Structure 1
Amino acid sequence: MSETKTAEQLAIETKAAFEKSVDAVKAIAEEALGKAKSGETLAASIKERADEALTVMNELKARQTELEQKMARPGRGDERDDSLGEQFVGSDEFKGFVANQRQGASASLTVKSTDLTTATTNAAGSMGAGIVPTRAGMIELPRRRMTIRNLLMPGRTDGPLIEYEREVGFTNNAAPVAEGAAKPQSTMQIQDVQTRTKVIAHWFRVSKQTLSDVAQVRTLIDTRLMYGLALKEEEQILFGDGTGENLHGLVPQAAAFAPAFTPAQMTRIDRIRLAMLQVALAEYAADGTVLHPTDWAQIELTKDGEGRYIIGNPQGTAQPTLWGAPVIPTKSMTVGNFLTGAFGMAAQLMDQWDARIETGFQNDDFTRNKVTVLAEQRTALAVYRPEAFVTGPIMPAQGG
């Protein structure tokens, strides 16, 4: 049996044959050129030999190129990879198993995998770097639903200062008067009240490249800036202490809970009703109660002596209400406290600047390709009748 030649040997032989064929073509060409110069007519045999020599040369060139490509490829074209079965029967572990067969003996083959995988390491078969991720978009943080502004009387102002007169005292001496008798005099006390609009604002700084390359970022910035204003405004409406640039909120001005009477085993629901009574005794009608969602959940879970829910049906879709007035559950309210009042009549929110978005350059933003995105509003809160609001702890002194 003749020895199988390697790719290197075949390449050397093919290269030599190719060079020989090139020489043959050159010889035929020189012969034809010499006869053409002397005026001799080229015989048909010369043309046939030239065509044959060119064909042989082209075939050898193609063969040489093929061998060179095989030698350049990993794995070498002349080396045949054994199948898994051939590798297994040729392994030392299998040969030892055949030579020493006994109960419980076994043989195994560890295969070095070259399968394509999603790995991103620098190893054979790693294709992870070529995987294009599916982008589901930007997932925003949750937003709180704003509710308190909608409870108040809306208004607008063209100037920063709001003045109004609040009646703080009235002595009614009206009485039947006899003919010719002096008529009684009544008195009242008026208080001048001033408040002014306050600016609520914040901003982001972002690169122009980001705004240009990621369109969703601009939308997120705008909506998040506006949400931030609304969130801070709601906190100020409820709890602003009136100092500096803070609004004077409803809770700091509201009357403290002082029930007209104390029922036996007072519950959370009882306390809301008594707060509404306190508003009514101040000659106003409560049109809402603000609670933290945790406190409203405790009220909804209140049951009677037989385990039946007092507030509605768990499968129902009724809006939160107590004693005919809506309940507004919001995390802006502190846990364990309530605010009940005549929101639509006793307080007004006046806007001088509507909430808006502005962009511009700050400091060296222009030379650094930065853009400052600003959101701001200018608002005043006028609480005409503080006694029309009642606040206090939602937890009863005992029971409930």
Structure 2
Amino acid sequence: MSNFAKIRPIGRRRDGRPIYPIKGGAPTLLEQRDEIVKHLQDPDYKGDPAELLARADKVAADIDAANQRDARLRALQAAQLPAGDPAPDTRVQPGMQPDANGNEHPLTVAEAFIRSEALATFRARGKRGQFSVDGMDFRAAPAGTVTTGTQPQQNTRVPGIIPQNPDFPLLIAGLLDRQVSDGTTLEYMRDTSGPQSTWNAAAVVAEGGDKPKSGPFTFDLISTSLKTVAHWVPITRQAADDNSQLMGYINGRLTYGLEYKLDREILTGNGTTQMQGILTTSGIGAYQPPSGNTDSKLITIRKAKTQGELALYPPDALVLNPIDWQDIELDTDANGQFRVITSVTDSGAPMRIWGLTVVTSVAMTAGTALLGGYRMGATLWERQGVTILMTDSHADYFTANTLVILAERRANVAVHTPAAFVKITFAALP
């Protein structure tokens, strides 16, 4: 009986004959080689000599091929470009670059638009029709085509205040807690109880004594809708083929325009046809120097901060008109030294005063400011981030080789704790 009679074949050759593994099931080329050598040296070997020789030839060829691959690999790894030889062209289209470490970075709205399959398809069909690309956040927006759902949307009811890790904001919107809405109607509870100091009756109680009751607590159920902010610009077909120009239009004009308007809505929106503005919400605090008091703006802000702290809603940020921030930064002592900044060359330093983050905006009326615990007092709810649409179906633009790029977003502000904010009115200068 053959030595391979009780061994199961692992395959078959082209002529149908079975292929048996080397005795012991050795998987490597070297182990197969050693086993075949052992059989060749065995004078009592009972197997098929022709088959053994064929296997010996194949294993020898496989080992030789492996040695050649290893030699080629080592030679390739050691190869270098000669001095002066131009480096390979690694340029990529704008919007396709990785970050400084070579990793994919979060996409801006413009980069998401440039990379989208929807734009590639739109260009491939001769820039006809309409398409859109949606991103949840202009700072980190995923690419994807917007579709319209057919099922009715559920209202978003806010269960309470959802905290969020703080970060340094670039705009007023960055001061707020930001959440995503699942529907187009927003319902939330607004705390109208006033400063915590007016209802907090907690006290040390003697054994057997009656416990004090805190309150009264009052809440209003606020129901509102998310508002759409949008605008568009024309762009030629030739410019639409240029990724750099497209990114410039989207980032420099469309996206910034939406953020610019959003800042104003957060402060002064009327709450009906517009978003709910903090300044137009009843129940926010107010501080103004007493009549005849000529406190500087620097001192006024510090006293208003105390008022916010006494209400037990510690403020974390301050929004000022640029003119008022200019007055504060240029405030000098009797020796002509700046009170707020020590060096005018440090213009890139974060703007802070009395421990508060400062954001300047022309949406804030000169002579006033808004101090508050922004993340504690309000939430920006967004149904969608910035959505970019492009089409040739507008007026006579098709015959003029002109396209339209439209940007829009849906959002609203839930001012659930008005007492967390203090509106400041500065004393008039003599």
TM-score (ref. length: structure 2)? 0.52
- The amino acid of 2:183's aligned partner reads G
**Structure ranking higher in helix proportion:** 1
In 2, Cα distance between equivalents of 1:290 and 1:182: 42
Structure 1 match to 2:172? 148
- Structure 2: distance between partners of 1:275 and 1:183: 31
> What CA deviation, in whole Å up to 9, does each residue of 1:127-168 have, x standing for no partner?
xxxxxxxxxxxxxxxxxx951111111111111122122332
CA 1:210–1:257 in structure 2 vs 1: closer, same or farther (change >3 Å)?
A: same
The percentage of aligned residue pairs carrying the same residue is 30
Residue 280 of structure 2 aligns to a residue whose secondary structure is: helix
2-structure distance, mates of 1:391, 1:295: 14
Contact 1:353–1:378 (CA<8 Å) still a contact in 2? yes
Aligned match of 1:386: 418
Residue in 1 that maps onto 2:250: 222
Q: Which residue of 1 aligns with 2:352?
A: 321
CA distance in 1, matches of 2:212, 2:309: 32
Q: Tell me which moved more, 178-187 or 375-384.
A: 178-187
Match of 1:353 in 2: 384
Letter in 2 for 1:251: L
Cα separation, 2, equivalents of 1:369 and 1:343: 47
Q: Is the 8 A contact 2:287 2:423 kept in 1?
A: no
1:1-400 pair list within 5 angstroms = 146-169=170-193, 187-212=216-241, 216-223=244-251, 224-244=253-273, 246-253=274-281, 255=284, 257-258=286-287, 265-315=294-344, 317=346, 318-363=349-394, 365-366=397-398, 368-394=400-426, 396-397=427-428
- 1:349 and 1:172 mapped to 2: Cα distance? 28
- Cα distance in 1 for residues equivalent to 2:172 and 2:409: 17
Deviations 1:303-329 (A, max 9, x none): 222332222213463533221112222
Count matched residues. Answer: 252
Whole-angstrom distance in 2 between the partners of 1:397 and 1:370: 52
Q: Cα–Cα, structure 1 residues 262 and 284, in superposed 2: closer, same or farther, change >3 Å?
A: farther
* Residue of structure 2 in register with 1:43 after alignment: none
Q: Measure the CA separation in 2 of the matches of 1:261 and 1:226.
A: 43
Q: Deviations over 1:103-145 (max 9, x none)?
A: xxxxxxxxxxxxxxxxxxxxxxxxxxxxxxxxxxxxxxxxxx9
State the alpha-carbon separation in 1 of the partners of residues 210 and 312 from structure 2. Answer: 33
Question: Contact conserved, 2:288 with 2:424, CA < 8 A, in 1?
Answer: no
Change (3 A) 1:286 1:218: same
Stretches of structure 2 that go unaligned for 5 or more consecutive residues are: 1-168
Inter-partner Cα distance in structure 2 for 1:273 and 1:263: 18
* Mapped contact 1:358–1:374 kept (Cα < 8 A): yes
CA distance in 2, matches of 1:331, 1:180: 56
Specify the structure having the higher radius of gyration (Cα): 1
Q: What SS does structure 1 have at the residue aligned with 2:222?
A: strand
User: How far does residue 257 in structure 1 lie from its aligned partner after superposition?
Assistant: 2.6
- Quick check: 1:242–1:248 contact (8 Å CA) kept in 2? yes
Q: 1:338 to 1:367 in 2, by over 3 A?
A: same
Mapped to 2, the partners of 1:205 and 1:312 lie a distance apart of 44
State the Cα deviation string for residues 26-64 of structure 1 (Å, max 9, x = none). Answer: xxxxxxxxxxxxxxxxxxxxxxxxxxxxxxxxxxxxxxx
**Secondary structure in 2 matching 1:252:** coil
Q: Tell me the CA shift for residue 366 of structure 1.
A: 4.2
2:218 match: secondary structure? strand
Deviations 1:72-106 (A, max 9, x none): xxxxxxxxxxxxxxxxxxxxxxxxxxxxxxxxxxx
| Larger deviation, residues 265-274 vs 316-325 | 316-325
| TM-superposed deviation, 1:260 | 8.7
Tell me the CA shift for residue 171 of structure 1: 5.3
CA positional deviation for 1:271: 1.1
Give the partner amino acid of 1:149: A
Task: Structure 1: state its 5+ residue gaps.
Answer: 1-144
Going from structure 1 to structure 2, the CA distance change for 1:263 and 1:177 (only over 3 Å counts) comes to farther
Change (3 A) 1:387 1:262: farther
RMSD: 3.2
The SS at the match of 1:271 is helix
1:387 to 1:178, Cα distance in 2 relative to 1, 3 A: same
Q: Name whichever of 183-192 and 344-353 sits farther off.
A: 183-192
TM-score by length of 1: 0.55
Paired letter, 1:370? T
Matched residue, 1:136: none
Question: Is 1:153–1:343's contact at 8 Å kept on the other side of the alignment?
Answer: yes
Structure 1 equivalent of residue 99 of structure 2? none
- Provide closer, same or farther for how the CA distance between residues 336 and 205 of structure 1 changes in structure 2, counting only shifts above 3 A: same
Alpha-carbon distance between aligned partners in 1 of 2:325 and 2:211, rounded to the nearest angstrom: 57
Cα shift at 1:259: 5.2
Alpha carbons 1:211, 1:217 under 8 Å: kept: yes
Mapped to 2, the partners of 1:311 and 1:303 lie a distance apart of 8
Taking the aligned partners of 2:236 and 2:298, their CA distance within structure 1 comes to: 53
Decide whether the 8 Å contact of 1:266 with 1:398 is kept in 2: no
